[in-house]
Amino acid sequence: MRQKKKIPTNYLLFSIFNILLLFNACNTGNRAVTSVEDLQCCNLTNPEGIDHPLLSWKIRSSRQGVAQAAWEIEIASRQELLEKGEADIWKSGKQPSDQQFGIQPTAEFKEGKSYCWRVRIWENNDEATPWSKPAGFSIGLLNESAWKAKWITYADPDQHALPYFRKSFSTEKGKKISKALAYFCGLGAGELYLNGNIVDPTRFLDPAQTDYDHYALYSTFDLTDLLKKGENLIGVMLGGGWFAQKEAWGGANFSYGAPMLRLQLVISYQDGSQTIVGSDESWEWSEGAVQKSNIYLGESYDANQEIEGWNKIGHSSEGWQKALIATKNLPPRLVPQLIPPIRKKEFLSAQSIWQDSLGNWIYDFGVNVAAIPLLKVSEPNGTGITLRFAEGIDQNRGLDFRSTGWIHHGEIFKDHYICKGKGVEEWSPRFTYHGYRYAELSGVTKKPDKETLKLIVVHSDIHQSGTFECADGQINKLHELALRTVKSNLHGIPTDCPIREKCGWLGDVHAYVKMANMNFQMENFWHKYLGDIRSGASREEKNTLFHERYNNTFYFTDKAAGIPYMIAPGKRLCGVASPDWGTALVQLPWWIYVYYGNQLILEEFYPQMKQWTLYVHSLAKSEERKKLYNRETSSIVYQGLGDWCAPRYESADPTPVEFTSTAFHYLDAKIMEKTARLLGKKEDMALFSLLQEEIANEMIALMYDPVNKTFGTQTADAMALDLGIVPEGDEKAVSASIVKNMREKSEGFMQCGIFGLCRIGSMLARHGNAEAAWDMFTKKGEHSFEWMWKSTDATTLWETLPINERTRKAVISSSYNHPMQAGFDISFFEDIAGISPDRSGYGFKVIRFQPLFCDYLPWARATIETAYGNVSSSWVKKEHGLEWEITIPANSSGLVAPPYAQEFTVNGEKMENCQFLKKETQDGQELYRFPSGNYKIVF
């Protein structure tokens, strides 16, 4: 018999002690598992120079089913007051509410003042969390009276190189600085220096473009840690940007005036006093090294004209002139810039280098992006180096400029650098950018290498809030191309392409807004762009070109104030917005609400949304239009551009303009009915309810084939399904008609322009044809997405997707970087990974989990940072079945649509034992409501 070993007493005591420690830690953890973090103001972390604070936070918890029942906020003028519990600006008290973003404090805030704040919440068990760590914000200069600085410019801009500006100043002796903020607007763009150093070296082409005759943006810089005691010197390099552009577009003058700047530096001391340094006639200017610059055509720089030490203390004023007070073309308002600036994001080296037949050096950077070159050379004084750019190469492996659209501008885009011959010189342009993959280098006297020329990717510093990946390489490749294309076209505005137009076409935007919202934090960006649309629409011009296409003829119409143009912002307008382009004015606020939960945006833009919808309805009712089209209809809209840039097939029919424009009119009315309901506008709700019913009835009567269950084309059927126009009960049959059309008309592939492409995958998958959608996304060879990179080596999405040889040959001179084609990416998040905002709680208050492709690939996963926190869906097929992990952030819930009609386990427990699960039915579908938490579901 084995003898039992005696356990030493000291070991028992040690074990008991550790058990007690563990028990205490667990109990302590249970008491403090919920915290409030990620405090933001206006969707920004500790922002400087905002207009009105909108506060938000995230709730972190290790517990399941956490919801916010109430919140309390304290705001103080100093952090030490906040920490003492002596908030002197605002104490909200306990506010029963589950709202955790868009909170508007009722306190009065002063311009130029800084504030700190904290928040705590009460959970649904009535337990309060600890106070959050403090966060901060400061109010900018909101009224003209707050600006002591003047607009300044320089003499004879057309006769001089772009200028340097500077001003020396001193801090007050014996006083400690508490904060120093610079409010700066350089038009069209400016670089800010302090004591010889650039203040923000990655910031580029700042501020963002606007309708400068209505308002301009200014940026706020915290210079507290950069100031020296005593004498300092502030400097500015000024460029034309979009503000002073008048050479491109064949010399069309889209300029607002000569470059100018306004800068106000406010130095606050701990004793409460201030020193204000403002731009005025005491500033100095001198010609700089940037000889000329154009946002399209490129930049010319002569390094011999550099003034060494121009932005440092002690540099001589000899040869400098006094700044001039700008008196013409001043923006009537200055507004804080609340969107991330354009930044230099990434450095790329060439993948290969060769010489063309003319001896020019060709650099292939491997991907097509929005970028600027970085030149590094050691050449004799006076050596002129020229850089030219293209998205493709020709048969002789030289640059192919056709897709750049240079012919519309009058010259090929190029940058030029003149060396000063003093060792190694590095240079990149400051006030222009290009869309390119290939660069041509000429003028060097030595053989270049990969260090000689690099590429710097530039785009708005939008946070990427979504990720997606799956087991299929082709789908991942499509996702990669979509992301690169969208990022290449975020430059303060959503551009159509980064090389030829650089314009904010309204119709392009609403074709990909949903996928952009899933991938990026776009809320502030879209808000700013809506302001651009609104400011441009306030112009009233008569006899303006209306993009109305009938029998290939364009017509003119009078434009009323409030109706937008095809493009915003800027002076290149391209006519009054057609119904299928201007619908962006209604759609954008709605999709901001759907994906970010921002109801304030609907309230702000409701008048413009309503005006637009009624305006389009007046076009449908117009007797003049009825005579023009020889139609007796009351709701059909015939004006528009249609399903733009569809691929070419010999036997496929285009979607009629009257279908797409009328469908968008229906969508506008539908959005207006929902918005009016949300905002409590009962009369408008009834009006738009009747209007959408009238539109749908007439569309079905005139455009729907009830026998063959189709509206005639893939795009028409996909739009009808997505917008809810299909007669009830015919949805699966209409989806099947898309499949039939694909087989008979387009080689088993899609034949959709931008309005169909962003819908077809989802509409197939959600109406019983997920296999057809899978086949479309993964098809190989000609007539497939794969053909885009197999036949053209595409790394971005072309203006018209080259999915077959017929299309590729027809569109070789079109842009190779157009985000309007990226809308399909929404299917990857919502239908493959299975994450979307549910209509029962927009803004991801309620998350819909519904993967539809589980039968066609081994795994997929996606994550999204929502206003409530991180949402994730990750599923994988294993031998025993399917494992699906989902994350639902605190204060939200999930509606789970099981991919298989069978029982499942949740975190190892049978579903019937999971008391937290609530079974629901939506549109005849069984769903399970999950509270917040992390779950592993196994089928």
For 559-599, how does the pLDDT look when each residue is reduced to its tens digit (9 = 90+)? 567 899 999 999 999 999 999 999 999 999 999 999 999 99
Give residue for tokens 């009257």. 658
β-pairing, 918-922 vs 414-418, is unpaired
Percent of the chain with pLDDT over 70: 93
Upstream peptide bond of 207 is cis (omega within 30 degrees of 0): yes
For residue 901, name the pLDDT band (cuts at 50, 70, 90).
confident
Token pair of 31, please?
Answer: 């008491």
Tokens 């004793």 belong to: 271
**Of 10-19, 614-623, 866-875, where does mean pLDDT reach its minimum?**
10-19
Residue 602: is its pLDDT beyond 50?
yes
Q: Is the pLDDT of residue 627 over 80?
A: no
pLDDT of residue 539: 66
CA 866, CA 845: separation in Å to the nearest integer?
A: 9
Reduced DSSP (H G I as helix, E B as strand, rest coil) percent helix, strand, coil of the chain, to 5: 30, 30, 45
What integer pLDDT is reported at residue 251 of this predicted model? Answer: 82
Interacting residues of 863 by C-beta distance below 8 A, sequence separation 6+: 466, 467, 870, 871, 872, 887
pLDDT tens column, 91-116: 999 999 999 999 999 999 999 999 99
798 in Cβ contact with 645 (< 8 Å): no
What pLDDT shows up at residue 166? 98
Q: Among candidates 351, 471, 373, 417, which has minimal Cα distance to 828?
A: 471
Strand duo 905-906 + 909-910: pairing: antiparallel
Cβ atoms of 380 and 443 closer than 8 Å = no
Q: Which residues of 911-921 are buried (b: 16+ CB within 10 A; e: fewer)?
A: eeebeebeeee
Per-residue pLDDT reduced to its tens digit, 884-897: 999 999 999 999 99
Measured distance CA(696)–CA(818) in Å, rounded: 32
Q: 639-648 b/e with 16+ CB inside 10 Å = b?
A: bbbbbbbbbb
C-alpha 443/C-alpha 903 separation (Å) is: 71
Residue pLDDT, tens place only, 608-621: 999 999 999 999 88
What is the per-residue pLDDT across 503-517, written as a single tens digit (0 to 9) for each? Answer: 999 999 999 999 999
- Which residues face 348 on adjacent strands? 455
Render 172-217 in DSSP notation, one character per residue. Answer: PTT--EEEEEEEEEEESEEEEEETTEESSTTB-S-S----TTT-EE
Beta 384-390 vs 414-418: how paired, if at all? Answer: antiparallel
Cα–Cα nearest to 470, from 858, 936, 897, 865: 858
The answer to whether the peptide bond before residue 188 is cis (omega within 30 degrees of 0) is yes
Condensed to tens digits (0 to 9), the pLDDT of residues 728-768 reads 999 999 999 999 999 999 999 999 999 999 999 999 999 99
Beta carbons of 857 and 777 less than 8 angstroms apart: no
Average model confidence (pLDDT) across the chain = 93
Whether 542 has a pLDDT exceeding 70, the answer reads no
Tokens representing residue 124 in the block: 């649904």
Query: With 0-12 CB in 10 A as exposed, 13-18 as middle and 19+ as buried, what is 886?
Result: buried
Mean pLDDT of 495-510: 97
Which DSSP category does 144 fall into? G
Closest by CA to 521, choosing from 590, 592, 469, is 592
Section 432-437 average pLDDT: 98
Residues paired with 416 in a beta bridge: 300, 386
Task: Give the whole-angstrom CA distance, residue 4 versus residue 891.
Answer: 54
Cβ-contact 334, 450 below 8 angstroms: no
Q: Are 666 and 696 in contact (CB under 8 A)?
A: yes
Q: What is the mean pLDDT of residues 28-50?
A: 85
Tens of pLDDT, residue by residue over 667-719, are: 999 999 999 999 999 999 999 999 999 999 999 999 999 999 999 999 999 99
Q: At what angle do helices 682-703 and 657-679 cross, to 10 degrees?
A: 160
Q: How far is residue 288's CA from residue 304's CA, in Å, rounded to a whole number?
A: 10
**Helix, coil or strand: residue 396:** coil
pTM of this prediction? 0.94
- What one-character-per-residue DSSP string does 726-780 give? SPTT-HHHHHHHHHHHHHHHSTTS----HHHHHHHHHHHHTTT-HHHHHHHHH--
- Please report, to the nearest 10 degrees, the dihedral formed by the alpha carbons of residues 454, 459, 465, 467 taken in order: -40
Which residue reads 């050449």 in tokens?
Answer: 379
Residue 460: Cβ-neighbour burial (10 angstroms; 0-12, 13-18, 19+): buried
Residue 634: other Cβ atoms inside 10 A: 12
Count Cβ atoms within 10 A of the Cβ of residue 529 and give its class: 0-12 exposed, 13-18 middle, 19 or more buried: buried
SS3 at position 681: coil
Q: What is the DSSP letter of 792?
A: H
pLDDT at 14: 37
Residue labelled with tokens 């303009």 = 657
Q: Which residues, in sequence order, are CB contacts of 14 under 8 Å at separation 6+?
A: none
Residue 546 confidence (pLDDT) above 70: no
Name the DSSP class of 304.
G
* Alpha-carbon distance values, 820 to 578, 587, 646, 758 (Å): 17, 15, 12, 9
The Cα 201–Cα 692 span in angstroms is: 52
Give whole-number Cα distances, 210 to 229, 532, 542, 628, in Å: 37, 6, 23, 37
Does 448 have pLDDT greater than 90?
Answer: yes
pLDDT tens digits, one per residue of 372-423: 999 999 999 999 999 999 999 999 999 999 999 998 998 999 999 999 999 9
How far apart (Å, rounded) are the C-alpha atoms in residues 648 and 752? Answer: 10
The closest of 509, 516, 741, 508 to 644, measured between CA atoms, is 508
Distance CA 747, CA 806 (A): 13
User: What pLDDT does 21 receive?
Assistant: 35
Q: Render pLDDT for 316-343 as a digit per residue (tens, 0 to 9).
A: 999 999 999 999 999 999 999 999 999 9
CA–CA separation, 648 vs 667, rounded Å? 27
Q: Give the total residue count for the chain.
A: 939
Tell me 840's DSSP state: T
Mean pLDDT within 520-530: 98
**Residue 827: closest CA among 762, 890, 875:** 762
CA gyration radius for the chain? 30
Q: Which two tokens stand for residue 378?
A: 């050691």
> Which DSSP helix (H) or strand (E) runs through 734?
helix 731-745
What is the DSSP secondary-structure string of 490-513? BSSSB-S-TTTT---BHHHHHHHH
Nearest-5° angle of CA 493, CA 496, CA 499?
Answer: 100
CB 829 within 8 A of CB 836: yes
